[in-house]
A and B are shown apart, each in its own frame.
Chain A
Amino acid sequence: MFQRRAFLVAVIAATFATYGCQLIVASITSPSDWISGTGRSIGAIFEGLSTSSGSGGNQAKNSNYERDLRQYSASFVQSGGTREDFLRGVTRVAENHGIANWEAEPSTPFAIGQGMRVANVSEQEMRAFCREFGTNEYAAKLAFEGWQSAGS
């Protein structure tokens, strides 16, 4: 078995000159195939929604939103930047999940708070952050709850 495999490797290696790296690793798959299948992404979400109840049907999508935002916040804290940079990043992450008015999503401040904890932001720093960014008291409270939940 190993010899056969090794032989295949040799065959593949010998053909590099003709086909380059596409032979061995996945380069972008054919765009026309990708587009032909592209509606399946939307269909899968509709399917997921139809098999769950109420607005909670978007749970998988929401959990990806929270995860992305948590990771973004953690990454931002570690790399640094201005307040405007941070907010633009939140906007970008939210838009990728179909959310333009992210301030109205309770999961937004909660996930940001979690991200702060992931980035090892202390309680004192977190409170200061909530004061600076949290003109909305409710959002600041949620952010702090998020920070607390990530440590539990």
Chain B
Amino acid sequence: MRGLALALTLTLIATAADGAAGTELGVVYVRANVGSASGGHAALVAGETVYHLQTGDDGLYWIARDRWTHFSYVYGGLQNRPLEIAELEVEPATRERVLDRFARLYVEQDIESTRRDARAADVAWLEAWAAGKPLPPLRAAGLLTPNRREDPDASLLREAVREPLADARREFAADPVEVDGEDIEALRERLALREALGALHEAWSIEPEALVATPPQSDDPLSERERASLAAFSAKLESTTAQLLRSDRPDRGFALLLAQARYVALRRSLAQNRLVLLDAFEGHGGVELEPAEEPSELARTKQVEYAAGLVRQGREVVLEGDRLDESTYNLLEEAAGLLERMALGRNDSALLDLERNKPPARGRVVEAPPFAGDVSAALATARARLADADTSYRARWSYDLIRRNCITELARTADEAFDGRVPADETFGFIPFVFFDRVRERAQVLRVEDVPSHRARELARLEREQPGMWTRLRESTALGSAIYTPRRQDGAFLLFTDDVFWRRPLYGAVNLAYAAGYTAYGVAAAPFDRGTRAKAGLSGMFWSVPELVFENVRKGSFEWVATREQGKQ
């Protein structure tokens, strides 16, 4: 029975998730729910690509590019919000221009943020020099270790690139690394190149800590086709390395270090007949995020199973399917890194934005020549540059509740798709549902598609399988529901009100009374639970108030929702 239920769930979710995947260009309205974006959210979707804007606690907004599969899973699945998609009738050229505008903003923001980070790194390096402390880790230098020289696999690579390596070393020696404080970023690039040339020349081995520890259940031996793919890719990395050695790219040190580390990992995979991969997320993020609520053991098990399935799927598609290149190999590294973190229960901030690939970049502190000038003056200049970069970044990407928020910027960027009929600065235009209503009414909309929330889909399935009053009664309560498990982050409530209308005020009154009682219980329990129950009670009371006047915000949420890909495992 459970198997049948799972299969049906998977089918329903797959159907829903496919909703916008084929949309040429559309606006998505995400309905309200408790938690972040309680007033709803909006996005632009084109095929599998979704653009939306988010804000953080730092007063800035950023442009997120996402996959529809991920976006609909988080908002429609985990956060249980119904989605509406208004498909727009636009010329292909208009669609392209709108997507170009989003891509332009997306890239400009990323480049500006990267430059600001580089200025911050300059300051950190100069501060270390000024204080006589070790320098910060150099990006990607920690993929290989000088403590293990003459590695047999690295020696093979050295042999393959002997000539260009000798040329590159000669050229590098003619222009020694100097530290004058003028361009610390260029210095980091020179140091990375020095490390890369040294690593190749001395055949450094891979740093064991830079590898992903694959759990035994995902550590199947390699098939013949997988071996052939890996062997071909390692041969390609030989020519890549030779090409990079001949290049005049000033920042090629990073790419060289990565190529050598991957080469050794590939050769080791072939020798051990198991997949050996670098950890894609080392050197990125690194901040451990506090979960809103500790996941249950079941949810954690499901997450690990899903990530293990991803690694298997990746091997099948990329290695067995003859699709191995730099980019797809990086996806395999990411899948393995994700699996390791899920198995350890690590909420690494590097996992927040997987739309941007994460090439392995483990850092290591390296030796640098002594500072040859006035370090205090250089530090003052670097700090001033950082302050300028910060000011300019804030000036462009600061958030304003009314004039520059997630909806207004979406409306401005997509303006051409609406024929200019949905101005971003119109009264109440910053409110998601108002914006979406205007799009529906004024733009050339081909159709509006509803994508039900996870609970709504599951409820429909249950009512088909077990029709009757008892099912409806049971599923209308948070405590009795077979679909929903109460979570404190949803607040305390007893009755769902998103699928009723006339009874909503009555249900709201019941919820209010229940949440008030729960708050009293929470106050008594506060010494033992740090007030989490009391907080859930108060939140429950707060979100019951709109229900008294026929409005629903709270819909419940889920810590795990099965998906189609999982069903394929």
Spell out A's residues near B (CB within 8 Å).
Answer: 4-5, 7-9, 11-12, 15, 18-19, 21-50, 54-55, 57-58, 60-61, 64, 67-68, 70-72, 74-75, 84, 87-89, 91-93, 95-101, 103-104, 118, 135
A-B interface pairs (CB < 8 A), number: 276
Q: Are B259 and A21 in contact (CB under 8 A)?
A: no
Question: Chain B residues with Cβ under 8 A from A60's Cβ?
Answer: 47-49
Q: Give the residue among A4, A11, A39, A55 with the most B Cβ atoms within 10 A.
A: A39
Contact A67/B338 with A30-B292, A32-B292 known, Cβ cut-off 8 Å: no
Contact A61/B327 with A25-B432, A38-B352 known, Cβ cut-off 8 Å: yes
Q: Are A64 and B323 in contact (CB under 8 A)?
A: no
Q: Are A42 and B326 in contact (CB under 8 A)?
A: no
Q: Are B563 and A40 in contact (CB under 8 A)?
A: yes
From B67, B303, B434, B559, contact of A44 by CB (8 A): B67
Q: Are B104 and A71 in contact (CB under 8 A)?
A: yes
Question: Chain A residues with Cβ under 8 A from B355's Cβ?
Answer: 41
Closest residue of A by beta carbon distance from B66: A41
Q: Give the residue among B30, B53, B69, B250 with the most A Cβ atoms within 10 A.
A: B69
Q: How far does the Cβ of A71 sit from chain B's closest Cβ, in whole Å?
A: 4
From A26, A48, A103, contact of B243 by CB (8 A): A103
Q: 12 more A-B contacts (CB under 8 A) besides A30-B36, A39-B354?
A: A11-B545, A24-B430, A26-B406, A32-B347, A34-B351, A50-B313, A50-B317, A91-B251, A95-B359, A98-B326, A98-B357, A104-B243
Compute how far the CA of A55 lies from the CA of B233 in the bound complex, rounded to whole angstroms.
13
- Between-chain CB contacts (< 8 Å), 13 pairs: A18-B542, A26-B406, A29-B41, A31-B291, A31-B352, A32-B289, A41-B70, A47-B69, A49-B323, A72-B111, A98-B326, A103-B243, A103-B247
From B108, B317, B546, contact of A75 by CB (8 A): B108
B75 interface residue per 8 A CB criterion: yes
B381 interface residue per 8 A CB criterion: no
Q: How far does the Cβ of A126 sit from chain B's closest Cβ, in whole Å?
A: 19
Q: How far does the Cβ of A29 sit from chain B's closest Cβ, in whole Å?
A: 5
Closest residue of B by beta carbon distance from A105: B326
Question: Chain B residues with Cβ under 8 A from A54's Cβ?
Answer: 322-323
Contact A21/B111 with A7-B549, A42-B310, A42-B354 known, Cβ cut-off 8 Å: no
Task: Name B315-370 residues within 8 Å CB distance of A.
Answer: 316-318, 321-323, 325-331, 334-335, 338, 347-349, 351-352, 354-357, 359
From B70, B357, B550, contact of A37 by CB (8 A): B70
Q: Are B77 and A43 in contact (CB under 8 A)?
A: no
Q: Are A29 and B79 in contact (CB under 8 A)?
A: yes
Task: Name B54-84 residues within 8 Å CB distance of A.
Answer: 54-57, 65-70, 73-75, 77-79
From B49, B56, B432, contact of A28 by CB (8 A): B56
Q: Are B107 and A57 in contact (CB under 8 A)?
A: no
Question: Chain B residues with Cβ under 8 A from A23's Cβ?
Answer: 38-39
Q: Are B67 and A26 in contact (CB under 8 A)?
A: no
Q: Are A4 and B406 in contact (CB under 8 A)?
A: no
Closest residue of A by beta carbon distance from B559: A36
B388 interface residue per 8 A CB criterion: no
Closest residue of B by beta carbon distance from A16: B401
Q: How far does the Cβ of B373 sit from chain A's closest Cβ, in whole Å?
A: 20
Q: Are A100 and B326 in contact (CB under 8 A)?
A: yes
Compute how far the CA of A29 lies from the CA of B103 in the bound complex, rounded to whole angstroms.
22
Compute how far the CA of A115 lies from the CA of B258 in the bound complex, rounded to whole angstroms.
28
Q: Are A49 and B321 in contact (CB under 8 A)?
A: yes
Closest residue of B by beta carbon distance from A84: B250
Question: Chain B residues with Cβ under 8 A from A55's Cβ?
Answer: 322-323, 325
Q: Are B351 and A35 in contact (CB under 8 A)?
A: yes
Q: Are A87 and B250 in contact (CB under 8 A)?
A: yes
Q: How far does the Cβ of A31 sit from chain B's closest Cβ, in whole Å?
A: 5
User: Which 9 residue pairs across A and B have the least CB separation, nearest first?
Assistant: A98-B327, A98-B357, A98-B330, A26-B37, A44-B69, A26-B41, A24-B39, A32-B291, A40-B70
B182 interface residue per 8 A CB criterion: no
Question: Chain B residues with Cβ under 8 A from A19's Cβ?
Answer: 38
Q: Are B258 and A100 in contact (CB under 8 A)?
A: yes
Question: Chain B residues with Cβ under 8 A from A75's Cβ?
Answer: 104, 107-108, 111
Q: Give the residue among A5, A36, A84, A88 with the most B Cβ atoms within 10 A.
A: A36
Compute how far the CA of A19 lies from the CA of B543 in the bound complex, rounded to whole angstroms.
12
Contact A74/B104 with A49-B323, A60-B47, A101-B255 known, Cβ cut-off 8 Å: yes
Task: Name B284-314 residues within 8 Å CB distance of A.
Answer: 289, 291-293, 295, 299, 303, 306-307, 310, 313-314
Q: Are B55 and A39 in contact (CB under 8 A)?
A: no
Question: Chain B residues with Cβ under 8 A from A74's Cβ?
Answer: 104
Compute how far the CA of A135 lies from the CA of B248 in the bound complex, rounded to whole angstroms.
9
Closest residue of A by beta carbon distance from B408: A25
Question: Chain A residues with Cβ under 8 A from B529's Cβ?
Answer: none
Contact A67/B310 with A26-B37, A42-B334 known, Cβ cut-off 8 Å: no
Q: How far does the Cβ of A104 sit from chain B's closest Cβ, in whole Å?
A: 6
Question: Chain A residues with Cβ under 8 A from B108's Cβ?
Answer: 71-72, 75
Q: Are A5 and B289 in contact (CB under 8 A)?
A: no
Q: Are A38 and B354 in contact (CB under 8 A)?
A: yes
Q: Are A41 and B110 in contact (CB under 8 A)?
A: no
